[in-house]
Amino acid sequence: MQQLDTITFGEAMAMFMANHPGSLHEVSQFTRELAGAETNVAIGLARLGLRSGWASKVGNDAFGKFVIERIKNENVDIEHVLIDPHYPTGFQLKSMVLEGDPEVQYFRKGSAASHLNCDDFNEEYFQRAKHMHMTGIPLALSESARAFAKYALAFMKNNGKKVSFDPNLRPTLWASQEEMVREINEVAFQADYVLPGIAEGEILTGFKKPRDIASFYLDKGVELVVIKLGAEGAFYKTATEEGTVRGFRVEKVVDTVGAGDGFAVGVISGLLEGLNVQDAVLRGNAIGALAVQSPGDNDGYPTKAALEKYIENQLEGVK
């Protein structure tokens, strides 16, 4: 059986992207694509040549078949993707915008992925991975999905695996902000690498400065905290070093969705390949910059050769 460099889990959805700008109720034509923070990461890592796996549940329906085929075609291992005969695959609608963030409407309540539970966890499959990446989204989907996430985290940590965690806050999925902060931080404190955005960090810690946000998690035993600062780049801190890595210049932002997941791809792949923290964060900034220049959630994620060329050209000042 194939060994994996990375594994992640969560909900994938069919996504219908508007073909022209305007409010969603005015749009008459859409293009179908794939959506899901964890699938974005799995795909991004696979494109860089890593052996990447994704675990989940999908419905026994057309959207579920689409999700499986789409991810399989990206060379992501889908051995632990289960087909649920009772619950459907979720989907979403996303507007086209000329600037700023798009409007997104979700149709995911009661989805197959939200019924993921501890009985679905395959220890042998997760044992094959060196590293696990997780986000805060499964924690918010349902109590059973949250239990699965916590079980996976405990299993990987108990087996000496590294775990990265992107809070990826979804306030509308939580009963309250207090519950969200409590549950997200409970998981974050157990992760090796924590990757919040600056606004998320303020919500989760009460601090505004990147250094203070990072220290909040380092004091709880986290090994590395990297805080996304948007166009300004990212701030990183460990017990022994810290710094800010500048962002890459982008001529035109097409769609911001997926940029944070692309950033995670860069950092995780860099660390797995033995890069120092600064260079791993630089790689994260590069993929994030490429991601915002394309319309789909992961369309802009590069291959290894394309990424290296982009970074080289940008650092040399070549447009």
HSE-CB at 123 with a 13 A cutoff on CA atoms is 7
Catalytic residue selected from 261, 279, 297, 299: 261
Cα distance from N-terminal residue to C-terminal residue, the chain? 44
* Dist CA 166 CA 133 (whole Å): 8
- Asked about 101 being catalytic, the answer comes back as no
On whether the CB atoms of residues 53 and 125 are closer than 8 A, the answer is: yes
* Dist CA 50 CA 45 (whole Å): 6
What is the Cα gyration radius of the chain? 18
* Dist CA 239 CA 194 (whole Å): 14
What one-character-per-residue DSSP string does 43-111 give? HHHHHTT--EEEEEEEESSHHHHHHHHHHHTTT-B-TTEEEESSSPPPEEEEEE-SSSPPPEEEE-TT-
Cα separation values, 24 from 21, 96, 101, 256, Å: 9, 9, 14, 18
* Dist CA 253 CA 293 (whole Å): 5
The catalytic residues are 261
